[in-house]
Amino acid sequence: MANMFALILAIATLITGIIWCVDRFKLAPARRARLAELAAADDVAIDKTLQEKVKQPGWIETCASIFPVLLVVFIVRSFIYEPFQIPSGSMMPTLLVGDFILVEKFAYGIKDPITQTTLIPTGHPKRGDIVVFKYPPDPKLDYIKRVIGLPGDRVIYDPLSKTVTVQPGCADSTTSCTSALPITYSDMAPSDFVQTYDSNGSGESSTGFLQVPPDRQVQGGVRLAERTENLGNMSHQILQVPGQQDQVGMYYRQRNQQLAEWSVPAGHYFMMGDNRDDSADSRYWGFVPERNLVGKAVAIWMSFEKQEGQWPTGVRLERIGAIH
């Protein structure tokens, strides 16, 4: 189920909340009254012996004590901030495997944590935002990508130069598009990242990414190239594998559109990863509906040195802070 943890947390909060209310407003007054009766009948002061006779059951005490904690966790996680871990390298170099991020849940609306129905609209994604969303082909999975196209945009990706063109307000195929968003790129430069590969019976498969200074070589690895993408007033770094060709035949083909061109429908967004040659994004599976949006990634609160699917080997304290 897409929001199983949220559902379990909500049920646990509800049950402990009911027990807390029953104890506070019914059982506790009854215990106090019983305690007063015993003291009056024996004509003694209330002491530990009498208190033990009317002590609340242990399970009620436990549930009542954990309810405030569950309530705070439920409110914060459901409506304010939720922690996520970056499991893959698709958003490198902005986000690395092992980064733990905070996602602002109220950035795009206050939502029902179970059904993800928007209760109070608070805003919409902007180009360049890094967004966590429910993966449209399988909403049980959480994905994180950068917003490239807004509703009404026409997005064109050149698989040879690996550049993006965005034409705002041009989703209607009958509209003549004459203007484009000013998107510029810096020159390519060697990055600090090397993608490693392992040979198997069916070819080569990626085994991970190493952060190695450009003047050092890594056996069996490919040095990635890095450049700045200026998306309107938002600038960020992107990675590419030198010489690698896009799998254009696997691109999502939108009806009445040319290959590698997409018109973003109303209420949908076009997402791409910053690691352009190692990102399964809207180029391959299409658009993200607004109802799938979880929130905006705003900060890294912890970062571990690790590879995908492996245990951490260290801590990267220098990465803690706001996401740019």
> Cα–Cα distance between 113 and 283 in angstroms, integer?
29
Q: Where are the alpha helices (DSSP H) in 90-249?
A: none
Residues classed as catalytic: 90, 145
> Cα–Cα distance between 20 and 34 in angstroms, integer?
20
Could you tell me if 257 and 236 are in contact, meaning their C-beta atoms sit under 8 angstroms apart? Answer: no
Domains and CATH numbers, the chain: 4-80 (no CATH), 86-322 (2.10.109.10)
pLDDT at 1: 46
pLDDT at 220: 77
pLDDT at 295: 95
pLDDT at 165: 95
Length of the chain: 324
At 180, the amino acid letter reads: A
Name residues whose C-beta falls within 8 Å of residue 233's C-beta, 6 or more positions apart in sequence.
Answer: 128
The dihedral built from the CA positions of residue 246, 249, 254 and 257, taken in this order, carries a sign that is: positive
> Cα–Cα distance between 104 and 265 in angstroms, integer?
25
Q: How does pLDDT run across 60-91, given as a tens digit for each residue?
A: 889 888 999 999 999 999 899 999 999 899 99
Q: Which residue stretches of the chain have pLDDT < 70?
A: 1-2, 35, 38-54, 171-176, 199-206
